[in-house]
Amino acid sequence: MGAGLLAQYAVIALAVAISVAVVMRKQFPNATRRMRGWLALWLMREGHAPWMQAFGRRIAPPARISGDACGGCNSCDPD
């Protein structure tokens, strides 16, 4: 296999991976969130390299806020 053909396959694989990521985020947001959380937790384990832990913190999904803007405990609800 020549270098040109290998580069072509690499570009196609990259395009397919990006397309799959976009479709996953648009069509299956909850599954994508769970997958990002699982991957982030796995990367942040003790014993992994510091750069892997930093990458895990970077890809971790943001925390969900349920309920009111104060945090969702609803203890200050007037009802």
- Residue 3 pLDDT exceeds 80: yes
Q: What is the pLDDT of residue 68?
A: 55
Q: What local confidence, expressed as pLDDT, does residue 67 receive?
A: 56
Contact (Cβ atoms closer than 8 angstroms) between residue 51 and residue 58: no
User: Mean pLDDT score of the chain, rounded to an integer?
Assistant: 87
Q: Which residue has the tokens 């009111």?
A: 68
Integer Cα distance of 49 and 59 in angstroms: 16
**pLDDT for position 1:** 77
Asked if 41 contacts 56 with a C-beta cutoff of 8 angstroms, the reply is yes
Q: Could you give the CA distance from residue 32 to residue 27 in angstroms, rounded to a whole number?
A: 9
* pLDDT of the residue at 44: 94
Q: Tell whether the model's pLDDT for residue 47 goes beyond 80.
A: yes
Cα angle at 20 between 2 and 6, to 5 degrees? 5
With pLDDT > 70 as the criterion, what percentage of the chain qualifies? 81
